[in-house]
């Protein structure tokens, strides 16, 4: 009685097991994977391609790993693009750059103190929280202003108590300014009802208005900074390299599929 072997799927016959195991472990990984990259990730790519294409013979195996190498380099290319953007974004934070001014050039606003780094790092939630904080601060300040306009004998002390701690510190600093530190035409602050009222009307409330504009303009500053971070020349070089990889991938896949078709045609014949 002749011992016959059952029909097995292509590339799963016993003589191929060792070879496919070697391919799954990345025969060329020592040349493809850089020292700081994750070889396990590369092996996973190779294994997935082996499972998809089930290569037979050294030629098909080589083509499969060539495909893995191209995919790995395209992954590296994405990292290079991100790195280029980060490098460009770092440049927008340099003091001599006028990113904020350029972002708001179409607006009739006073010069703002919002830093680029604050605008690009703040999330939408952060900005919402900052807006609520300003609104809350403005509300208690208006309450203090209302007290100052009333008839209470202790209006100054009561209004001062209502103000937030940071505003109280601002007022204390304002009172402590020496005459030589005052701007031309500026009068010294006085620790009384009228002095505090003038401080709130002349400095605190305008600060709130300007701060609300700054927060509203954060998206514009972010867009400007991210736009300035784009190095067109570097991206063009990376783009040409990606086109090269895509064309190479197309050629390799075409060769691999053609070999498989020829093999299957031979088996069918």
Q: How confident is the model at residue 131 (pLDDT cuts 50, 70, 90)?
A: very high
More confident residue, 36 or 100: 36
Q: Is residue 245 part of a domain?
A: yes
pLDDT band at 8 (very low <50, low <70, confident <90, very high): very low
Structural domains counted in the chain: 2
Instruction: Tell me, yes or no, whether 159 lies in a domain.
Output: yes
Q: Tell me: do 124 and 212 sit in the same domain.
A: yes
Burial 12-50 (b: 16+ CB within 10 A, else e): eeeebeebbeebbebeebeebbeeeeeeeebbebbbebb
Q: Name the residue range of residue 141's domain.
A: 120-216
Which of 69-78, 108-117, 225-234 is the most confident on average? 69-78
Are residues 210 and 257 part of one domain? no
77 pLDDT higher than 90: yes
- Whether residue 146 lies inside any domain: the answer is yes
131 shares its domain with 212: yes
One domain for residues 198 and 235:
no
pLDDT tens-place string over residues 11-65: 434 444 444 554 544 556 677 888 899 989 998 999 999 999 999 988 999 999 9
56 domain-assigned:
yes
Owner of token pair 């080589």 = 62
109 occurs within a structural domain: no
Whether the per-residue pLDDT at 167 is higher than 60: the answer is: yes
């Amino acid at each position: 009685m002749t011992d016959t072997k059952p029909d097995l799927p292509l590339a799963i016959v016993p003589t191929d097991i060792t070879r496919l195991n070697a391919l799954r472990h990345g025969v060329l990984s020592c040349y493809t994977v850089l020292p700081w990259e994750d070889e396990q990730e590369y092996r996973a790519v190779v294994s997935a391609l082996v499972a998809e294409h089930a290569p037979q013979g050294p030629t098909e195996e080589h083509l499969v790993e060539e495909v893995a190498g191209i995919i790995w380099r395209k992954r590296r290319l994405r990292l290079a693009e991100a790195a280029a953007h980060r490098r460009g974004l770092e440049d927008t934070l340099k003091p001599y750059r006028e990113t904020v001014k350029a972002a708001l050039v179409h607006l009739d606003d006073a010069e703002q103190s919002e830093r680029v780094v604050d605008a690009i790092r703040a999330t939408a939630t952060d900005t919402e929280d900052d807006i609520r904080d300003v609104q809350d601060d403005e509300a208690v300040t208006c309450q203090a202003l209302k007290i100052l306009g009333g008839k209470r004998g202790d209006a100054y002390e009561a209004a001062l108590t209502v103000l937030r701690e940071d505003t109280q510190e601002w007022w204390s600093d304002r009172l402590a300014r020496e005459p030589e530190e005052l701007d031309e035409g500026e009068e010294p602050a006085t620790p009384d009802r009228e002095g505090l009222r003038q401080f709130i009307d002349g400095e605190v409330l305008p600060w709130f208005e300007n701060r609300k504009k700054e927060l509203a303009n954060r998206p514009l500053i972010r867009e400007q900074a991210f736009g300035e971070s784009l190095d067109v020349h570097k991206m063009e070089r990376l783009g040409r390299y990606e086109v090269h990889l895509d064309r190479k991938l197309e050629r390799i896949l075409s060769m691999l599929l053609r070999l498989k078709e020829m093999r299957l045609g031979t088996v069918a014949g």
